[in-house]
């Protein structure tokens, strides 16, 4: 068996607006344009990932929220219509995706050995969350690789960011070990935005970019601080500052996705490549890749 490895880890945020503005055939609404910087950033990310010849995308998503531990998609195929609950005007996406169940079970098992509560999700009628769908669609629009999909146990909401971090760190280590043990070449996707204050009203034309801007300067300063850690190879500092980042920037990293990614990558001390930064309804979003040597 070949040696398994994480060939890249990515920040791959999931605003449905990015899929809407790209007009893939699976999405019903049509857009004229919009959010080009982030969409072109995803193009640059794909140019890094496509030559890496990987087997599987492993995504940790803030929008599959489980309240008893961490769940994993556990059937080989899921097919349905995903409608965004807040933006049904933008996102009505017909998905048909395949799961690497063997790898999912391996991560689930190792995480359980590490003391986490884990469950394989085997309901064939389960509707996959739009975070997973948007991150995967923007990263690999061909949908020709299986995925592993990991839920976010809402530990930051129920307990504290510190408890969330302990569990996300253990989950990240388990993910890495399972990838190595199963011989997979994996690309990891942390599906979260950075700062996450939303606009409270929407214009008539969603892709009217004259309205799009950061929500406030404090949010922007936090995003730039985190991205400077990314660019300087300070993975551990990102995790160390997570409690302040989550509370002050209302970051969607509260889901644990970014902490999980840092742990799986072994706390990268080499730079991540920032392919784009931009806002979506005021939230801060960055497309980033870390490619281990
Ligand atoms: O509200 C969320 O979490 C979303 N994903 C919706 C859109 C833009 C967010 O960044
Ligand atoms: Fe989100």
- Regarding the domain delimited by 5-290, which CATH topology (the fold level of the hierarchy) does it fall under? Protocatechuate 4,5-dioxygenase; Chain B (3.40.830)
Closest CA to 178 of 80, 106, 97, 89: 106
pLDDT in tens, 34-73: 999 999 999 999 999 999 999 999 999 999 999 999 999 9
In this predicted model, what pLDDT tens digit does every residue of 172-188 receive, in sequence order?
A: 999 999 999 999 999 99
pLDDT higher than 80, residue 1: no
> Residue 68: CB partners within 8 Å, gap ≥ 6?
117, 119, 153
What digits encode the pLDDT tens for the residues 80-133? 999 999 999 999 999 999 999 999 999 999 999 999 999 999 999 999 999 999
CA of 178 to the centre of ligand 1 (A): 30
Identify the pLDDT of residue 64.
98
Ligand 1 binding pocket (C-beta < 6 A) is: 14-15, 193, 252, 280-281, 283, 285
Angle at 277 between CA 22 and CA 269, to 5 degrees: 125
Question: What is the pLDDT, as a whole number, of residue 103?
Answer: 98
Q: Which residue has the tokens 């989550």?
A: 246
Residue 18: pLDDT band (50, 70, 90) is very high
Name the pTM for this structure: 0.98
For every residue of 43-90, DSSP letters joined together read: HHHHHHHGGG--SEEEEEEEEEEESSSEEEE-SSEEEEEEE-SS-TTT
Which bound ligand lies closest to the C-alpha atom of 193? 1
**Angstrom distance (rounded) from CA 290 to CA 293:** 9
First to last CA, the chain: 21
C-alpha distances in Å from residue 85, one per residue of 68, 88, 248: 23, 6, 26
Is 77 a residue whose pLDDT tops 70?
A: yes
Nearest ligand atom owner, CA of 86:
1
**Tell me, what's the pLDDT at 202?**
87
CA 14 to ligand 2 center in whole angstroms = 6
- In this prediction, residue 211 has a pLDDT band, given cuts at 50, 70 and 90, of very high
Domain extents in the chain: 5-290
Ligand 1: residue whose CA is nearest its atom 4? 15
Taking 70 as the threshold, does the pLDDT of residue 2 lie above it?
no
State which ligand 1 atom lies nearest to the alpha carbon of 87: 6
């Amino acid at each position: 068996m070949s040696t398994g490895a994480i060939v890249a880890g990515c920040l791959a945020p999931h605003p449905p607006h990015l899929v809407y503005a790209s007009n893939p055939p699976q999405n019903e609404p049509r857009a004229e344009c919009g959010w080009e910087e982030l969409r072109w950033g995803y193009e640059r990310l794909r140019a890094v990932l496509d030559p890496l010849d990987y087997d599987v995308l492993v995504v940790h998503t803030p929008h599959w929220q489980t309240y008893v531990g961490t769940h994993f998609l556990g059937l080989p195929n899921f097919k349905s219509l995903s409608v965004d609950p807040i933006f049904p005007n933008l996102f009505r996406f017909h998905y048909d995706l395949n799961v690497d169940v063997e790898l999912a079970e391996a991560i689930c098992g190792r995480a359980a050995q590490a003391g986490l509560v884990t469950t394989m999700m085997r309901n064939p009628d389960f509707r996959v969350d739009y975070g997973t769908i948007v991150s995967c669609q923007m990263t690999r629009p061909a949908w020709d690789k299986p995925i592993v999909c990991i839920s976010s146990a809402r530990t930051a909401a129920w307990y504290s960011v510190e408890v969330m971090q302990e569990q996300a760190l253990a989950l990240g280590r388990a993910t890495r070990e399972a990838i190595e043990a199963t011989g997979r070449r994996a690309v990891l996707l942390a599906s979260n935005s950075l700062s996450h204050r939303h606009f409270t009203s929407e214009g008539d034309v969603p892709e009217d970019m004259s309205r799009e801007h950061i929500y406030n300067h404090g949010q922007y300063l936090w995003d730039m601080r985190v991205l400077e850690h990314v660019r300087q190879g300070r993975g551990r500092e990102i995790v160390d500052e997570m409690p302040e980042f989550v509370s002050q920037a209302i970051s969607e990293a509260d889901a644990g996705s970014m902490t999980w990614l840092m742990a799986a990558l072994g706390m990268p001390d080499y730079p991540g490549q920032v392919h784009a930064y931009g806002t979506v309804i005021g939230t801060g979003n960055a497309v980033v890749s870390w490619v281990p040597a």
